[in-house]
Amino acid sequence: MPLLSLSDRIDAVLPQTQCTKCGYDGCRPYAEAIAYDHEEINRCPPGGQAGIKELAALLDRAEIPLDIGCGQHHPLTVAVIDEPHCIGCTLCIQACPVDAIIGANKLMHTVLPDRCTGCDLCVAPCPVDCITMVPATVEWTEDRANTARLHHQQRQQRLNAAHHESSRLAASTLANKAPLSLAAKSDVATRQQTVADALARARARRRKE
């Protein structure tokens, strides 16, 4: 078996939630920044202080407190979609780094809880605020982290093959906050009107409840 590189060993310590809270586009880019660019080891809220301690031991660095500018450490959560209010815009599907959300355009979406890493990247792009993060009923284990890494890699490979360029998850998520028409250049007015009509229907449903 070939020896693991330093970035491989760092990546194995990171939780693989792919949340981008560290400021990088996923756990692997952060691992490479730590290994080769002397990035700090305290920028991973999901890993918390336990993760920092493990990285410090691996790298023979001093253990330092979590950088709260990246976020606070919280127990694992998973995303839940309020399905009656979902308008089928697919923005959450585009934002999910591990393909944990299934659905189709104009059809209800749902989250696969066994795949969800609790990254919460799907929450902000939702135009009708129908996604919430709830406490997970399972612990985040090494096996789940390894599976999440695989799902993320498979997604990145699929996107790269489809678009022939690197996919920047954080940038994609920010772009998804805009109208769905940004996803394509054709028939802009029609696409904008489709989203506007869907939002109006969703708001009307909520007023009746």
Residues 96-132 have pLDDT tens digits of: 999 999 998 888 899 999 999 999 999 999 999 999 9
User: From CA 76, how far away is CA 132, in angstroms rounded?
Assistant: 13
Tokens of 10: 């760092």
Residues 85 and 45 in one domain: no
The residue assigned the tokens 């994609």 is 172
Residues 34 and 127 in one domain: no
**pTM, full prediction:** 0.77
Structural contact between residues 91 and 176, judged by C-beta atoms closer than 8 angstroms: yes
CATH number at 187 reads 3.30.70.20
pLDDT at 107: 85
**What is the DSSP code (8-state) at residue 183?**
G
Domain that holds residue 33: 6-59
Which portions of the chain are predicted below pLDDT 70?
A: 1-2, 163-209
Residues 89 and 184 in one domain: yes
**Beta-bridge partner residues of 79:** 133
Is position 207 within any domain? Answer: no
pLDDT at 3: 76
pLDDT at 106: 85
Residues 86 and 14 in one domain: no
Tokens of 163: 């678009």
Residues 160 and 112 in one domain: yes
